[in-house]
Structure 1
Amino acid sequence: MIRLSPKIKHKLYQKRHVVFLIILMFLVTLMALTSPHGKGTFISNENDELLKTLWQEKQRGQVNQGTHQVNQGTHQVNQLVEQVEELAKGPLKDDDPDLLRLLRERYLSKPSDKPADLMLNREGARAKNYNIYRTAFHSWIHINKILKKLFSDEPPHFFVEAGALDGEFISNTLYLEQDLGWTGLLVEADPLLYAALPGKNRKSWSSQTCLSPSNVAERLTFETYEPRDDRDVAAALLVRSTGNLAGVHSPAMGQMGSKIPVEVQCFPLFSYLLALNATSVGYVSLDVEGAEAEILLHLPWDRVDVTVWNIEHRATNEGFKVHYEEPWGLRAPPPRPHPPPPSGSVGGREGDEGREGREDSGEEEVPPPKKIVYVTQHDPAEGKDPYLVRFMREKGYRLYDYWDGDYTFVKADSEICRKHCTVEVEVEVE
């Protein structure tokens, strides 16, 4: 048996240690190259799962920097992200695969799996003030009653709420989610309002973006508003809720607070639906402070199926009027010889049944007294925009309800309309 001196044994041990380190480094490199993280150098636009992993790695800043290959892959991922984000500033069309991938992986937050954490379930002076809208805001109360009537007996579906604020305050979709088991998408452009939304633990997707007023993605200026003085929480939230895209004729006209412009990424409504594979939608709440005409005019109606729309719109916004009058000059509804009489139906719903007979009889019609409910002293049943009504009718919808600038349209051939739609007054056309 050969005996080795201690000196030789020590040298062999050192060499064995070096060989072990070399083998270990080789294995680490091999694992980096063959794992999903290591495939960064072989990026394919067709591989959504790979790209998803790389997006997440970049966002968390946890890409392994231990090898040259991973560094190279990370660099290419960064370049790809920057290229797509640059394109998203405009223009990428609403159904572009790169745009949908960017929206899905960078701008959509998943539904929460935690119990809801709502001001509705809290006590104290602040919660009481926050929840005052549930008993004092007539518009929200009116819409909530409509949703209960239309959907209480319907199976869960998918909703979209654009202008979601913090995900709870005057939310039109919270009832659908909490009581009826729906899920959907909440979109809010104001970064301060959206910051409170994830903490509500809504069971819906959410996005701190805005709906594009065109059919392409673009970065736009969004004007948020701060209260000019110390206000309670509900009043402050109302001021923030009037934020609008710059250049848009908003209902509040920027009079409720101090303007603070921010840059926001915007996507077409159709892009959100494609990214979530949800082109069949039960309900859309569109409260976008003046951008609704452009959003609806650019929607590919033949590729989406929406049953019920709630649209906040003022007739002072002439987007639909321009659509009919300016391009062709022949499609505008003819002027009426006299203004229409006040609606006689409940909730501002159109209802002129029997009007012609009364006019023909020659009897003087005594209009019913107007029910004034707001301190601004206007009739919430007045102010309908015939151009919006005509536009939606041409898309296959009936005006189910109107109240103080809030329109509820129901798809005419839907089961919900067969159950709930009443006779709608025809618009006079040539």
Structure 2
Amino acid sequence: MVLHLVTIDRVLGSGTVTLMTLTAPQGNGAFVTNESDAFLKSLWQERQRGGAQGNQVEALARGPLKEDDQELLRLLKERYLAKPSDKPANLMLDKEGARAKNYNVYRTAFHSWIRINKILKKLFSGEPPHFFVEAGALDGEFISNTLYLEQDLGWTGLLVEADPLLYAALPGKNRKAWSSQTCLSPSDVAERLTFETYEPRDDRDVAAALLVRSTGNLAGIRSPALGQMGSKIPVEVQCFPLFSYLLALNATSVGYVSLDVEGAEAEILLHLPWDRVDVTVWTIEHRATNEGFKVHYEEPWGIRAPPMPPRPRPSGSLGGHEGGEERKDKKLDGEEVLPPKKIVYVTQHDPASGKDPYLVRFMKEKGYRLHDYWDGDYTFIKADSEICRKHCTVEVE
């Protein structure tokens, strides 16, 4: 983030009015003003000092500052949150032509998005507008779970997307929601982390290319796509705890959260101060390959659970690696030994399988009922909410 001074109407320190522009690495500029002259003065002084002292304002964001630190919240809102647009929506949904047709194919072919969209229409149609959060917002339109809430029901909210290329297209959509090119921290402090985005390895149509980029994940996190969807490109991204965004926007009461962060959901939810937020409905994309919730219950004091005994092997077993790694087919006593099955992203053979009982247990303990599960997508409804009283007829087993 580059700080440029545009004008100074009066001398700092004596009733100043200062206008600055902050330019992100991707070239997007946003004018920033602040009622607090002291804060603007600190920005200007840090810009002037430079040198070996470095930029202390940026250091604030690097952390570690706790999620409810007031300086952190002010920094988040002033430098990392873009306001909702007051312009008419500019969506591919409303366009014609081959590119728009290919872009919008998800509306008829992506079963996960179709299923979630139907659930949201059932739960929220006729309800008053509320606040949403979508983490993993991509370009603000493609497979967005919150676009319906905003366009049809008049909601507003927050869109968070870490991938700088995907986010670069988001402001042009003119969403009526706050947005941020950052990521949700997998802890309770602000920090800068490495985010691994993926480029298609060959020429793809627009929908396929967006799908590849949608699999970006924090480095060190076991993502559902296992890094197999494209060529990895690491970038440094600023991250904030989910609770920090809500505090900065004074929105700790939330109607709907869509959490699709490619493997980091356990860490994010485990660090959320649940007694200080009120969320009615969650959609969480989660695969049991991320064992964060399992570790939470089986290793509560940081002591690893006893290892499982090794599986018995046939006499003369050739050994080899397990857990989804490729190996060539072998012959053993005249019988073909097949390589272990890979975990296939999105296209599981049985979309009703693969549920993580530890996530379900965790959310139940937080006061939620599992309303729907399909192909790694969970919908939880707060048990004591009016939405649940209307729609929680039978809990999903």
TM-score category of the 2 structures, normalised to the smaller one: 0.7 to 0.9
1:243–1:30 Cα change, 3 Å: closer
Q: Distance in 1 between matches of 2:388 and 2:61?
A: 38
What SS does the corresponding residue of 1:49 show, helix, strand or coil? coil
Contact 2:17 / 2:37 at 8 angstroms: preserved in 1?
no
Q: Distance in 1 between matches of 2:38 and 2:146?
A: 29
What SS does the corresponding residue of 1:92 show, helix, strand or coil? coil
Q: Distance in 1 between matches of 2:370 and 2:351?
A: 16
Q: Distance in 1 between matches of 2:76 and 2:297?
A: 33
- Alignment partner for residue 95 of structure 1, among 68, 74, 79? 68
2:7 corresponds to 1:36: no
What pairs with 1:245-284 in structure 2 (closer than 5 Å)? 245-284=218-257
Query: Match for residue 220 of structure 1?
Result: 193
Give the TM-score, by structure 2 length: 0.79
Contact 1:52 / 1:105 at 8 angstroms: preserved in 2?
no
Give the TM-score, by structure 1 length: 0.73
Deviating above 6 A after TM superposition, structure 1's stretches of 4 or more consecutive aligned residues are: 28-32, 76-81
- Alignment partner for residue 406 of structure 1, among 377, 387, 390? 377
Q: Distance in 2 between matches of 1:73 and 1:221?
A: 25
2:284 corresponds to 1:311: yes
- Alignment partner for residue 354 of structure 2, among 383, 396, 400? 383
Cα drift, residue 87 of structure 1: 2.7
What pairs with 1:362-373 in structure 2 (closer than 5 Å)? none
Contact 1:108 / 1:207 at 8 angstroms: preserved in 2?
yes
Q: Distance in 2 between matches of 1:150 and 1:53?
A: 43
Query: Match for residue 286 of structure 1?
Result: 259
Q: Distance in 2 between matches of 1:49 and 1:378?
A: 56
1:47-74 deviation digits (Å, cap 9, x = unpaired): 962248828x96xxxx8xxxxxxxx797
Q: Distance in 1 between matches of 2:177 and 2:360?
A: 30
Contact 2:381 / 2:388 at 8 angstroms: preserved in 1?
yes
Contact 1:84 / 1:99 at 8 angstroms: preserved in 2?
no
Q: Matched residues, percent identical?
A: 84
Q: Distance in 1 between matches of 2:69 and 2:346?
A: 48
Q: Distance in 1 between matches of 2:59 and 2:47?
A: 18
1:80–1:98 Cα change, 3 Å: farther
Query: Match for residue 49 of structure 1?
Result: 35
1:189–1:377 Cα change, 3 Å: closer
- Alignment partner for residue 415 of structure 1, among 373, 377, 386? 386
Query: Match for residue 127 of structure 2?
Result: 154
**Structure with greater strand share of residues:** 2
Q: Distance in 2 between matches of 1:158 and 1:79?
A: 43
Query: Match for residue 84 of structure 1?
Result: 57
1:342-366 deviation digits (Å, cap 9, x = unpaired): xxxxxxxxxxxxxxxxxxxxxxxxx
Query: Match for residue 155 of structure 2?
Result: 182
5+ unaligned residues in a row in structure 1: which ranges? 1-27, 39-46, 64-71, 333-373
Cα drift, residue 307 of structure 1: 0.2
Q: Distance in 1 between matches of 2:226 and 2:58?
A: 31
Contact 2:373 / 2:396 at 8 angstroms: preserved in 1?
no
Q: Distance in 1 between matches of 2:50 and 2:382?
A: 44
Q: Distance in 1 between matches of 2:179 and 2:346?
A: 35
Q: Distance in 2 between matches of 1:91 and 1:386?
A: 33
Cα drift, residue 29 of structure 1: 10
What SS does the corresponding residue of 2:288 show, helix, strand or coil? coil
1:239–1:412 Cα change, 3 Å: same
1:99-118 deviation digits (Å, cap 9, x = unpaired): 10110000000000000000
Q: Distance in 2 between matches of 1:79 and 1:106?
A: 23
Letter in 1 for 2:278: D
What pairs with 1:78-157 in structure 2 (closer than 5 Å)? 82-157=55-130
Cα drift, residue 90 of structure 1: 2.2
Contact 2:348 / 2:375 at 8 angstroms: preserved in 1?
no
1:150–1:112 Cα change, 3 Å: same
Cα RMSD after superposing both structures: 3.0
Structure whose CA Rg is larger? 1
Q: Distance in 2 between matches of 1:382 and 1:52?
A: 55
1:80–1:187 Cα change, 3 Å: farther
**Structure with greater helix share of residues:** 1
Q: Distance in 2 between matches of 1:417 and 1:90?
A: 38
